[in-house]
Structure 1
Amino acid sequence: MRDARQKLQWASKRVTTVQEDTAYSLFGIFDVHLPVIYGERKQSALGRLLQDIVSRSGDITSLDWVGQSSEFNSCFPADIISYATPPCSLPSLSEDEIQTANTNAPLFANRRLRLPCIAFRVNEVKRRRGDAAHSTYGVKADGLRDLVITTDETLIQFSRVKPTQQTFFLVRPWDRRLLGLPDFSEQLTFADEEESVGDWSESESASDHTDEPSSDSPGEEELSVDSDIHSRSLRLMVHLGQAFSALLVAQQRVGEYKRVASDHNIIAQVKDMASIDILNIRTLDIL
């Protein structure tokens, strides 16, 4: 099992006499050393475990779940059974396609997750008729195809004509595997809090727009390097255009957000390649 999500799925149906032991019994598997506090709620015990996993390794696969949110942090589930369903299977670029990345790493502090992500602002939420036990909403977001979300939570209905003061985003957690970096122990070079993916592509391929080479230019070798960098950028853009598992977050106050839990994976996709050029990698504080 290569990542935290696979281990959590393996342990999702484990039954313990004391509810906290569902998390405590995984300390050795994840090689963590945390205080054992019998009497705390299982949400707190599981939350402390998941927080430590993200903080130490940067492995964000534990955010891939469906079910109810934890009171510990909305990005985590209330119960480990939420990992029972198989993870979303998304294609990734190979390591030899793109080898370096400049982005922030996820950070947990004081029950807040600072999550680098690609954010799509939601501009319409409308409730649909359906099962009385669940609420189904049609959602529209800038740059994304329309999608449907099912949740036990009540969402504010709004549109461009009738906007709301609260801000919602559909976000794609930034994963180094998008750039062919599957090893979570690999060090990253930290960049600014917000970095434009479009700018990254343009800066990498800027050499394609230089003046004509002088007589003492390296020639074919230099052109080959420039072409390879440009090709990597294009492949990244194509990958970002594929369907992905998104998180719905709602703004609580300035700079802070809360995840809205859903009963099914939220599968989103950008409308076209032109939409990708305006995307920003930004860091959100999620409670």
Structure 2
Amino acid sequence: MDWLDLARAALLGILQGLTEFLPVSSTGHLLIAERAMGFEDPGGAFTVMIQLGSILAVMWLYRQRIWDVVTGLPTKPEARRFALMLFLAFLPAVAIGLLAADYVKTVLYESLTVIAWALIIGGVAMLGIERFRPTPQVEDAARTPIGRAVAVGVFQTLALIPGVSRSGATIYGGLLMGLDRRAAAEFSFFLAMPTMAAAFVHDFLDVKDHITPDRTAEIAVGFLFAFLSALVVVKPFLDFVTRIGFGPFAFYRIAAGAMVLGALAMGWL
């Protein structure tokens, strides 16, 4: 391993952290970037491990909320309701993930065409939802009605398709379920914690044998930069979508998907 390997690991870590909580598909961006860089990731070990950096970043940002919920479970009804809401919203991803994980990893992850079209279709869907979404009725993500929270969890299952975006799918679902922009984005962050933690544990068990000593430095660098970049992006993203909306991300998705299709047609990827 040389400095070039570490530099590529740092760039991929930054990309992971920046895109994980934006509605643009971190997995899609990583798979495209790894292919473009010629980055070898046997078993997907690097990708799995650096995602942990993003998970820990959002948990750090919401550490007070997490602490309040955990310590309040025995005595506070609102803490128990919050935990139940997230648990029920999390279940659809568990069920569909267990059924479809092998197909997603062995077939869909290998197709940049699927990723490109998912980016484009997701961008078009986002523009439509922004324009025709129902009048917001929920302004606090923590007070999302449980039925609506479960519906958002069902939308999250769409993110098994690489290029759809986990945060994008949950945000779309939140907007359609009557959450305002900030609440939809924040609910996506809350739901990311159990979902991404469970996905990490599941994937880690599959890839642990590929985490060899000679890859430790590469993984450590990617993890660190994923953590730092996610830490930087979450709060500004909330402020941005509250003021501007999701339109710029929709146009970005469409443009990125179109460029990938063009690059595939030219034989560049």
TM-score (norm 2): 0.24
Task: Please say which structure displays the higher CA radius of gyration.
Answer: 1
Of structures 1 and 2, the one with the larger relative CO (CA 8 A, separation 6+) is 2
Q: Which has the higher strand share?
A: 1
Q: TM-score if structure 1 supplies the norm length?
A: 0.23
**Larger % of helix: which?**
2
